[in-house]
């Protein structure tokens, strides 16, 4: 039988401070820096309190701000406050990375970390130096490329143009001025040019639509023309995907937004399905899973991607056993990285015992 730990209260907060100090250390939080934690009235207050305690224990200047959940956010004061901040940490239901104030504050040198994955995911996917190294290397390759092509034995064959769009390294640490990241991330991303994705995407059995919390039971074929999903075939999964996207009543909801690959060997493909001891993990595991390839349908206009497709829809389609090409260079071959700098480091072997 599943159960869910609430982790609310002073005792639970105290237990989290050590973990959060580890993450803030990976964010290069230094004594004397200003660290502000932003949460809201609907979010677990213990998370923000633990971040505050961790930052203060590290010698930073720190305070907490609580936003309303169901009412409009402040139209004033966010930007002036954020321009003074060294590190912004936001465990909140609000997607602050879609706010114009965030873009201006990052341009001013602020670092920002969103922390909303379930606690069991945060513990397992705390920022890791090897993941950071490989995602940064992958982002450099994407930055230099003009086209991305994804294929699979299941029938996927799509190509997109990303000329001029950034290669984004998401590795779960806000460690550099101007960098925004998401604790639990371990992936390389880019937003293709709107209207450029062409071809057929096949979700195979076991692939994940993580925004619907669903594994594909039978293959789903999605046809793209000029960047727009124009056809859905494949039983109940295809029906749910199409119905969800059409529910936004917005032509932009059917446009492909961005693509990515996962780079973290610690991420669990089964996390969406696990119900014990904690029920269902967030989407971090699905996107970060080592070697998976994702195409997202919907928005790509946040401060990370800098795309132009502004819509409320955002549906992640994560696939195993794909191959990915940057221009004509093979980067992922059936789920395994080809360039040495992108491969996971081997696990250290136990030292030999001399007798």
The Cα–Cα gap between 21 and 352 comes to: 34
Residue with tokens 């937003």: 191
Structure tokens at 94: 């609000």
In the prediction, which pLDDT does 88 show? 98
Under CATH, to which class is 10-116 assigned?
alpha beta
Q: Which of 153, 158, 148, 187 is nearest to 329 (CA)?
A: 148
The Cα–Cα gap between 204 and 215 comes to: 9
Q: Which residues pair with 255 in a beta bridge?
A: 228
Are 69 and 42 in contact, with CB atoms under 8 Å apart?
A: yes
CA 69-40-77 angle, to 5 degrees, is 95
The predicted model scores a pTM of 0.92
CATH 3.40.50.2300 intervals, the chain? 10-116
As a whole number of Å, the end-to-end CA separation of the chain is 49
pLDDT block averages, 10 residues each, the chain of length 355? 60 90 98 98 93 97 96 91 96 94 96 94 95 98 98 98 97 98 97 97 97 94 98 97 98 97 96 78 91 97 93 97 98 98 77 43
**Residue 277 preceded by cis peptide, ω within 30:** yes
Are 87 and 113 in contact, with CB atoms under 8 Å apart?
A: yes
What would the 3-class secondary structure string for the chain be? CCCCCCCCCHHHHHHHHHHHHHHHHHCCCCCCCEEEEEEECCCCHHHHHHHHHHHHHCCCEEEEEEECCCCCCCCCCHHHHHCCCCEEEECCCCCHHHCHHHHHHHHCCCEEEECCCCHHHHHHCCCCHHHHHHHHHHHHHHHHCCEEEEEECCCCEEEEECCCCCCEEECCCCCCCCCEEECCCCEEEECCCCCCCEEEEEECCCCEEHHHCEECCCCEEEEEECCEEEEEECHHHHHHHHHHHHCCCCHHHHEEEEEEEECECCCCHHHHCCCCCCCCCCCHHHHHECCCEEEEEECCCCCCCCCCCCCCCEEEEEECCEEEEECCEEEEECCEECCHHHCCCCCCCCCCCCC
Are 149 and 158 in contact, with CB atoms under 8 Å apart?
A: yes
């Amino acid at each position: 039988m599943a159960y869910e730990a609430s982790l609310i209260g002073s005792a639970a907060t105290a237990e989290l401070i050590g973990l959060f100090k580890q993450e803030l250390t990976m964010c290069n939080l230094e004594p004397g820096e200003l660290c502000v934690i932003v949460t809201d009235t609907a979010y677990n207050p213990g998370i923000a309190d633990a971040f505050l305690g961790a930052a203060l224990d590290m010698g930073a200047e720190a305070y907490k701000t609580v936003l309303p959940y169901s009412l409009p956010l402040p139209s004033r004061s966010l930007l002036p406050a954020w321009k003074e901040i060294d590190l912004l940490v936001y465990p909140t239901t609000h997607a602050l990375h879609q706010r114009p104030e965030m873009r201006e504050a990052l341009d001013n040198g602020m670092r920002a970390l969103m922390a909303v994955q379930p606690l069991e995911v945060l513990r397992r996917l705390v920022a890791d130096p090897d993941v950071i190294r490989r995602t940064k290397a992958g982002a450099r390759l994407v930055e230099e490329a003009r086209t991305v092509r994804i294929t699979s034995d299941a029938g996927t064959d799509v190509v997109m143009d990303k000329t001029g769009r950034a290669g984004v390294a998401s590795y779960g640490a806000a460690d550099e001025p101007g960098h925004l990241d998401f604790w639990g991330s371990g992936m390389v991303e880019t937003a293709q040019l709107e209207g450029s994705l062409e071809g057929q995407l096949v979700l195979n059995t076991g692939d994940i639509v993580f925004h619907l919390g669903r594994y594909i039971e039978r293959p789903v074929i999605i046809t793209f023309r000029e960047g727009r999903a124009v056809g859905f075939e494949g039983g109940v999964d295809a029906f749910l995907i199409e119905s969800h996207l059409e529910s936004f009543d917005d032509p932009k909801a059917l446009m492909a937004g961005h693509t990515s690959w996962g780079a973290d060997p610690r991420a669990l493909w089964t996390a969406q399905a696990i119900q014990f001891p904690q029920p269902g993990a967030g989407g971090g595991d699905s996107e970060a899973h080592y070697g998976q390839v994702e195409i997202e349908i919907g928005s790509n206009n946040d401060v990370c991607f800098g795309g132009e497709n502004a819509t409320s829809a955002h549906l992640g389609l994560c696939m195993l056993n794909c191959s990915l090409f940057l221009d004509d260079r093979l980067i992922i071959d059936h789920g395994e990285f080809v360039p040495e700098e992108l491969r996971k480091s081997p696990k250290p072997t136990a030292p030999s015992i001399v007798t």
